[in-house]
Structure 1
């Protein structure tokens, strides 16, 4: 029986790799190409889904038959179920009135509604799908709240009444007051995670300027369907959103949870902005005779590359006043001749958002891979992240902080040349706009063990190309190859376009790897950009004229004049010989071999 796609990126490690694919091999794609089998229509919202499709085989439906079913949650707060073989819609349920498109959330008014942003998670044993819906009684953002729903895979019927997450609380200690979750200004984009009998719901924020803008993680027990625990990434300051560009928190085999937080304060006590954070969830239960222990989150470990104050010219330990950094000015002057131009200093550099990427766990080598808007890969040690302290971020101490990583930082989505260091003593040394383009990573990399290269990982950053890396048992990443195709070639320069390529991988064990990529032509943040879809050989590389490795395309929609809108932050899903490609024109395209 085919395996089930029950969570974003196929598994809780967020590898993005389906290693049970036998039909869509490089040889088959190269020889037969791809064709559109049918598309799944998603009425109710002009953009359709932000959530990745999920797939469960052999579902017992209310008609008494067993079907392979594709589940798609949309921005209209609708969940659709389709027959995976025929595309027939089996059922649809509405989970409340979504927020209407508004500049309060989206300055460019790309989105029609704001409903279910995050990828749901499925418990195949309970035959239940869990989804977080943003619901407003009048369609306004001001009155919207977040509800977790549990619905049956068979017919979409409610398994439990909707659970309002409003009012979840967290006691941070350290003399700080109890924090209370408020849906207003929160945005729930991170994919849901199911671990230890609980659904983990991560939150970022609409705007990062308010003092109450904080990242949250809320645990809901599936048995009782009650809030069991909550944690906020910042309790003294603000920020620390958990969003991962649609990727989800990761979990290792022991149930430890890994997140990467965004812009926010850092003090290593109550505030963990711009950090890889390892959490342990403890379920509520008996703590001894006659006593009961409430559920909780514990911060087990963390690692932090910088503070936002340090990035913008202030105190690298945080909370400092902004001031110019002469060394950075000199660096910019040295680089100006080769087209490396500075972005505006000051607050512009407070948005380098380590959390734009999200974690991927390479448990075989005890490494957590994380990269954000700098396009730099930080390889954390899962067994000992390092527990960074504010003093570790001063110029005299940064080398020791980098040494806590499993491997030195590397330029990941691009390479600026030896003039720049990926591990500078003064973090503001990274405040340059290489070739007048951004190189942010949005969404998680893809991880796969191949027969040809061993462990590999892939990324596709903004205004760059698909890049392949080998990962050693020691956690060292070595560059292998890149594609000729680039993301957002039609976007204005500076600063280029967003969000880079959304990628996934299929393989038959360690053989026949294919990287699947959905790429925008323009800036998919500021406009509804036409999209391009490509399949690449993941292991057998060619050579460019300079002798460097070339990731060769197997199929390219551009050669067939396909037209669709690029779905920002959503990645292709490969299952049972078919590819499910979400688009921004309210469809999921279903492809198979020609």
Structure 2
């Protein structure tokens, strides 16, 4: 794509100041004049570039058109991360340099909260750190963005409400304020304060997942609990948008646990009077003080919150017992009506009258409509479009179901689908939807869906995919895997819908980036592979740079590159491509470079066209001058494919993996490091046999994890590495076998001269093989174990341990040796 600033088209201006576009949470942008059913296809639409950030983006990005920052009028994208940073990017510029960035941490004393401080498990709803999770909200009149940041400060846990200037990123006067409070309650965690028994907000346990809302001068915030950890409660607080003084506090279940508000990340719907609607999860219900599994309607004022009405499903007792939260997706106010539509983990859509929610009645006979979906959770929630061809349509994509469009007629959904897609959601969380269109115009409506490409993202990472459908027929017109080398999303960021604005689609992933899609320039594209490499100071790394012609473009393309630490040189062979093709970029890192990670980018120039690489890549300097770089050993087993030098793999990504063939080594294999340089290190190994997992072979991680050394039920595997520079290393032992429906575990021991023998068990979970995520096994389920040693030689021994059948195994897919500082 050409490096140009996107012209600001006044007719297409849109501001996305809150979660799901508007107060109703309609999920719809009706001012999209660029993207249509006719031009969103794999030849004309794709990934343009990415904005790198420092952590996963669980919060939906926000967007403002025509904002003057640093002396220029720009469209601005606001991104908040789980590492407690907020970025402002020029949304029409591919530059990875933000307009500003605000950091709420000061390591090592102030950091994001590690998820393992709350739920000591290797995989869960959250993977990594917790910082800014709920979608912020922007007050355009005052140029203020409000957000909640969670930090760990010298061992204490804190949540704060921040109010930042959207022009500079600076704190507003009086910002931030620490979040705390208590309400009368008799739950098991209650205490007596000043003679009154109260329950108190816990900043460690309470998860701020739902988006923030702004209404009647009050910033509204809701909380649930991580993995339903107790003691916890659902909480709602209101803060004066000007002073940040707390003006309201509500505990959903003050006399019991749970009742969390998470709503699949959706902010509470807000009606024209400023009333807010919060959906709660499983917990105690009595209809007076405790409101588990309910939709609660609050009048909002700077003087406090007043509960006006509520709806509770008639089968609330069953929902609570089964953890079928009503709070699964939150609710949408259907535009032009007084009706609310939403659902949860039960797999039911409820249509409610906002003026009379109906409270709790057996069999829900008091409500407008109740629609079971196809057995899956409702997580992404509905979006609405009043189309020219079919009138009002409502779209929903539940787990384990296809995308469905319902007609909306006479105040009810016509339950027989108007249209439905052909792609079945592979699992949690189903599709997170956005609809873009030019008003009601035919052939402009597109349903965009972010979802897993395969597998389930409930308690692990899953590869993501962005899909686009004709909103009038639900025929799929494009997806990001059609030209995966150009458009791949990366790991899914569940619950975050695509953000469509002014001809571009912005989609965060779990890999520390926001991907930007749009119409491809009518010339050529530039892509770099692999995505990441590790190299020692004074050494080189090579990348493949591919130039692809588009729309009949012909011409020579000259290549140039930027990035890396100071003093880095980038050269190309060939430097001038006569047409489409691939060149080798050699990156030379200066001796004495300190450890760190750096971005590389390539620009292709042909006449007046200058095209920057769609995928900025990283190079990591992993050790000090003279040290050996990271070494990867790939045990091929019975796999038929070996890893090419350019393939990047491992929990610490590197290239130049050493391919080790056969069940045992006849002679020692000399090892090269991640830059391709010889090291003097050698490896020998002895196993009963080789084998392979049933995963699909693909370059990189999948290829490294496919083949492995195997044991019998009683034998062991040994791997000996000698000739390393004696120093500190992290040793990664990758373990994933073809165990089918059986659970097996292996005991992995490292030993050697000067090494205290250490054993770590790894459980190979039933019906699970490596997909896209490396999970550390710490005497539990996972696909690798990690040891830290200081030595120049070591031995790894793999011994089969417990299994749920008579067949026991201890696979070894690969070993990675990563030098430490």
TM-score (norm. length: structure 2): 0.57
Distance 2:356 2:224 in 1: 26
Aligned position for 1:199: 219
Q: Which of 365, 368, 378 is the equivalent residue of 1:403?
A: 365
Aligned position for 2:517: 591
Q: Over aligned residue pairs, what C-alpha RMSD do you find?
A: 2.1
Shift of 1:207: 4.3
Q: Which of 9, 15, 28 is the equivalent residue of 1:17?
A: 28
Q: Which of 382, 404, 429 is the equivalent residue of 1:499?
A: 429
Q: Which of 488, 492, 495 is the equivalent residue of 1:569?
A: 495
Aligned position for 2:348: 376
Shift of 1:103: 6.7
The answer to whether residue 78 in structure 2 is matched with residue 59 in structure 1 is no
Distance 1:164 1:5 in 2: 25
Aligned position for 2:112: 98
- Answer whether contact 1:70 1:83 (CA < 8 A) is retained: yes
The answer to whether residue 68 in structure 2 is matched with residue 136 in structure 1 is no
- Answer whether contact 2:202 2:232 (CA < 8 A) is retained: no
Q: Which of 477, 480, 502 is the equivalent residue of 1:557?
A: 480
Question: Per the alignment, do residues 105 and 568 of structure 1 end up closer, same or farther by CA in structure 2, a change over 3 Å counting?
Answer: farther
Structure 1: stretches of 5+ with no match in the other structure:
284-294, 313-348, 393-397, 415-433, 489-496, 542-550
Question: Per the alignment, do residues 253 and 533 of structure 1 end up closer, same or farther by CA in structure 2, a change over 3 Å counting?
Answer: same
Instruction: Point out the structure with max Rg over C-alpha.
Output: 2
- Answer whether contact 2:385 2:392 (CA < 8 A) is retained: yes
Query: Which secondary structure does the structure 1 equivalent of 2:359 belong to?
Result: coil
Aligned position for 2:779: none
Q: Any idea what the Cα deviations from partners look like across 1:152-178, whole Å, max 9, x if unmatched?
A: 1111011134444433244589x9945
Q: Any idea what the Cα deviations from partners look like across 1:417-475, whole Å, max 9, x if unmatched?
A: xxxxxxxxxxxxxxxxx5xxxx1111331112111222211111112221111122323
Between 190-199 and 523-532, the greater mean CA deviation after superposition: 523-532
Shift of 1:28: 2.0
Distance 2:254 2:170 in 1: 38
4+ long deviations beyond 4 Å? 175-179
Query: Which secondary structure does the structure 2 equivalent of 1:365 belong to?
Result: coil
- Answer whether contact 2:59 2:496 (CA < 8 A) is retained: yes
- Answer whether contact 2:175 2:244 (CA < 8 A) is retained: no
Query: Which secondary structure does the structure 1 equivalent of 2:22 belong to?
Result: coil
Distance 2:227 2:34 in 1: 45
- Answer whether contact 1:498 1:524 (CA < 8 A) is retained: yes
Query: Which secondary structure does the structure 2 equivalent of 1:214 belong to?
Result: coil
Query: Which secondary structure does the structure 1 equivalent of 2:168 belong to?
Result: coil
- Answer whether contact 1:50 1:117 (CA < 8 A) is retained: yes
Aligned position for 1:475: 412
The answer to whether residue 422 in structure 2 is matched with residue 484 in structure 1 is yes
| Higher normalized contact order (CA 8 Å, seq sep 6+, divided by chain length) | 1
Aligned position for 2:296: 277
1:224-243 counterparts in 2 under 5 A?
224-243=243-262
Question: Per the alignment, do residues 480 and 565 of structure 1 end up closer, same or farther by CA in structure 2, a change over 3 Å counting?
Answer: same
Shift of 1:90: 1.0
Distance 1:553 1:106 in 2: 41
Richer in strand (by share)? 2
Q: Any idea what the Cα deviations from partners look like across 1:16-40, whole Å, max 9, x if unmatched?
A: 0001101111122249531211111
Shift of 1:403: 2.0
Query: Which secondary structure does the structure 1 equivalent of 2:102 belong to?
Result: strand
Distance 1:238 1:509 in 2: 45
- Answer whether contact 2:281 2:294 (CA < 8 A) is retained: yes
Aligned position for 2:285: 266
- Answer whether contact 1:108 1:527 (CA < 8 A) is retained: no
Shift of 1:363: 4.5
Q: Which of 518, 541, 545 is the equivalent residue of 2:450?
A: 518
Query: Which secondary structure does the structure 1 equivalent of 2:40 belong to?
Result: helix
Distance 2:213 2:495 in 1: 17
Richer in helix (by share)? 1
Distance 1:498 1:207 in 2: 15
Aligned position for 1:387: 359
Distance 1:363 1:160 in 2: 36
Q: Which of 459, 462, 465 is the equivalent residue of 1:529?
A: 462
Question: Per the alignment, do residues 311 and 19 of structure 1 end up closer, same or farther by CA in structure 2, a change over 3 Å counting?
Answer: closer
Distance 1:146 1:383 in 2: 35
Structure 2: stretches of 5+ with no match in the other structure:
1-9, 106-110, 187-194, 521-821
- Answer whether contact 1:367 1:475 (CA < 8 A) is retained: no
- Answer whether contact 1:151 1:160 (CA < 8 A) is retained: no
1:215-254 counterparts in 2 under 5 A?
215-254=234-273
Shift of 1:222: 1.1
Distance 1:64 1:13 in 2: 34
Question: Per the alignment, do residues 57 and 106 of structure 1 end up closer, same or farther by CA in structure 2, a change over 3 Å counting?
Answer: farther
Distance 1:159 1:574 in 2: 29
Shift of 1:74: 0.3
- Answer whether contact 1:165 1:227 (CA < 8 A) is retained: no
Shift of 1:558: 2.1
